[in-house]
Structure 1
Amino acid sequence: MIRARIMATAMLFHDNDLLMMKRSPTRTLNPGMWAAVGGHLDPGEISSPRNACLREVCEETGLQEEEIIDLKLQYILIRLNQQEIRQQFIYTAHTTRRDVIQTEEGVLHWIPREQVLDREIPFIFHRLLEHYFEHGPTDHIWVGTAGFDQYSAPEVHWTALVDPEMN
């Protein structure tokens, strides 16, 4: 039986630094790896991943909505992991402050942009960061699906999400 897991994540920037969490080695998903802040949508949040993202950011960092500038949905990642379809909504934003709380989920660090990709990052998020650093913020949402290239190496296929009826 295939299950679904829906998550919302924020790539938060302050100046040229990205807030990243070194995940606790006891976490179920990606233990010990580096990630952005975020988490699972609660049942009442299914129709609003933005609200879930803001809740997770507050729980994991202490940052309040008014301290987050220009929160924008920039990516939707979709992948199959064993018998689970994972859909992740990725938002980008800037923060008005750098001081954050620490939680049991991991340790938060502000990482200079040029050092971000040197971390141990889950494959699909690493490809997302490469794409974002190459293309920057855009006016449209990117959908990334995990797959394989012609040599059976893992890759992410990017498509701009558009409404075909809006032409």
Structure 2
Amino acid sequence: MRSARHLTSLYLVRDGRVLLLYRRGSRAIADSWVGIGGHLEPSELANPTAAALRELHEELGITPDQLTDLALRYVAVRDTGAEIRTTYYYTADLDATATVPTVCAEGDLAWFDLGEDPRLDMPVTARIAFTHWLAVGRADRKLRFITVDADGRETGPA
């Protein structure tokens, strides 16, 4: 029997750049670049958006009123062999007046230009979602699905 893990990840956009976190010491992934996010609490399973906003506030102090165009863009399901991981990938524009901390207890923060794929070390579904979003997904508001099976075979996004 596999266990289940539910996570969120939010790509914050401002001034043609995206904010990413080099997460260190995670229980779920090796040290790598990700969006802002984390685990859903049991009470949030029916509302991953609430979890994404909670994590954003916990990690960066950013509140929903500082965001525009918050959207669920990708849902990824990965079978690691030991567990099924479902990650909800969001994007949002960050208000120009919002102050973003330069340090985070979860790791290192950095802004990256949206005009290029920086080819960062990322978990598999994060890499798929981020690369697709940079190349295709930013141009529309579609919700896309990604799967990675226990053998590492990938499908999506379409």
Distance of 1:12 and 1:72 partners within structure 2:
11
| Percent identity between the two aligned chains | 28
Equivalence for 2:44: 45
Q: Contact 1:35/1:121 (CA < 8 Å) preserved in 2? A: yes
Does residue 156 (structure 1) correspond to residue 148 (structure 2)? The answer is no
Measure how far apart 1:12 and its partner are. 0.9
User: 1:11 and 2:11 equivalent?
Assistant: yes
Displacement of 1:36 in angstroms is: 0.6
**Residues 9, 34 of structure 2: 8 Å contact kept:** no
Shift of 1:82: 2.3
Q: What residue number does 1:2 align with? A: 2
Q: May I ask how many residue pairs the two structures share in their alignment?
A: 155
Structure showing greater Rg? 1
Per mean C-alpha deviation after superposition, the further-off stretch among 34-43 and 108-117 is: 108-117
Match of residue 118 from structure 1: 119
CA contact (8 A) 2:79 2:85 kept: yes
TM-score, normalising length: structure 1: 0.83
| Aligned mates of 2:154, 2:66 — CA distance in 1 | 32
Taking only aligned residues, the RMSD between alpha carbons, in angstroms, comes to 2.0
Q: After superposition, where does 1:1-167 map in structure 2 within 5 Å?
A: 1-24=1-24, 26-97=25-96, 99-101=99-101, 102-114=103-115, 116-137=117-138, 138-147=140-149, 154-158=152-156
Unaligned runs of 5+ in 2: none
Structure 2 CA distance for aligned equivalents of residues 131 and 3 of structure 1 = 28
Indicate how the Cα distance of structure 1 residues 159 and 125 shifts in structure 2: closer, same or farther if over 3 A, else same: closer
Letter in 2 for 1:158: G
Distance apart, 1:147 and its partner CA:
4.1
Superposition TM-score, scaled by structure 2 size:
0.87
Deviation at 1:85, TM superposition (A): 0.2
Query: For 1:44-103, what per-residue CA distance to the aligned partner results, in whole angstroms no more than 9, with x for missing partners?
Result: 111110111100111111111011111011110001012100001111111014632333
Paired residues of 1:117 and 1:126 also in contact (CA < 8 A):
no
- DSSP 3-state at the match of 2:127: helix
Q: Distance in 2 between matches of 1:110 and 1:31?
A: 21
Mean Cα deviation higher: 103-112 or 3-12: 103-112
